[in-house]
Amino acid sequence: MILFDVGGVLLTNGWDQRERSTVLSHFHLDFVAFEARHLAHYDAWERDAISLAAYLDATVFCEPREFTRDEFFACMLTQSKLQPDGALGILHQLAASNQCLLGALNNEARETNEYRFTHFGLRKLFQVALSSCYLGLRKPEPAIYLRALDILGRPAERMLFIDDRAENVDGAAAAGMKALLFEGVDALRLELERLEVL
């Protein structure tokens, strides 16, 4: 089985610092003030411990605004794009070959995750979605890799995990998975050919 991270591998990040900066600039909001509130609530939102409404109330709508929550969230979603030099083409190729099970192991809040999986057709390509918002755990916590193995019921050494962040790759390797650091589509293709899955 192959587990893919989503942001930074298949798509751009959903709500990382660059995306936040773009949206805050669009709405003329103070980045430093927002970041302090964001850091206090983002972990809970990605774990699905709070809703999108609660996150936005705590970070943006803690004071009157001239725009709505729907307008702000719509602008957030426009930040999701195909990752330049990303692996979506490889994912399509693997899905078409039907040689192995495919899934996601990603950190993402429920509302952005649902949008990204639907809008970019990921749900049709993955047999399983092990997202932080569904598991209540986040990479690189050791527990998320162990939970993934429990759910999938496969030996760790039969799992391949692909992520663009070294700390997440290290976490998967520590759990016994084969783990690859994503450094571009050409390098990934060579590694998958070497492993004889492409």
> Quick one: pLDDT band at residue 195, thresholds 50, 70, 90?
very high
Q: Are residues 87 and 68 in the same domain?
A: no
Q: Are residues 67 and 123 in the same domain?
A: no
> Quick one: pLDDT band at residue 60, thresholds 50, 70, 90?
very high
> Quick one: pLDDT band at residue 20, thresholds 50, 70, 90?
very high
**For residue 103, what are the domain limits?**
2-12+82-194
Locate 141 and state its tokens.
């916590």
How confident is the model at residue 53, as a pLDDT?
97
> Quick one: pLDDT band at residue 185, thresholds 50, 70, 90?
very high
Q: Using the 3D structure, point to which of 25, 44, 77 is the last residue of a domain.
A: 77
How confident is the model at residue 36, as a pLDDT?
97
Mean pLDDT, range 169-186, rounded to an integer: 98
Q: Using the 3D structure, point to which of 77, 109, 126 is the last residue of a domain.
A: 77
Contact 124/147 with Cβ under 8 angstroms? Answer: no
Q: Are residues 119 and 164 in the same domain?
A: yes
How confident is the model at residue 10, as a pLDDT?
98
Q: Are residues 60 and 42 in the same domain?
A: yes
Within 10 Å of residue 183's Cβ, how many Cβ atoms? Answer: 11
> Quick one: pLDDT band at residue 135, thresholds 50, 70, 90?
very high
Q: Are residues 98 and 183 in the same domain?
A: yes
Locate 50 and state its tokens.
């709070």
How confident is the model at residue 184, as a pLDDT?
97
Q: Are residues 35 and 7 in the same domain?
A: no
Contact 14/116 with Cβ under 8 angstroms? Answer: yes
Q: Are residues 180 and 146 in the same domain?
A: yes
How confident is the model at residue 62, as a pLDDT?
97
% of the chain residues with pLDDT over 90: 99
Q: Using the 3D structure, point to which of 58, 77, 96 is the last residue of a domain.
A: 77
Mean pLDDT, range 156-184, rounded to an integer: 98
How confident is the model at residue 27, as a pLDDT?
98
Model confidence pLDDT, tens digit, residues 62-120: 999 999 999 999 999 999 999 999 999 999 999 999 999 999 999 999 999 999 999 99
Distance CA 63, CA 29 (A): 11
Q: What's the pTM value of the predicted model, to 2 decimals?
A: 0.95
Q: Is 67 left (phi over 0), alpha (psi -120 to 50) or beta?
A: beta
Tell me the pairing of strands 128-131 and 2-4: unpaired
- How many structural domains does the chain have? 2
Considering the chain, what is the average pLDDT of its residues? 97
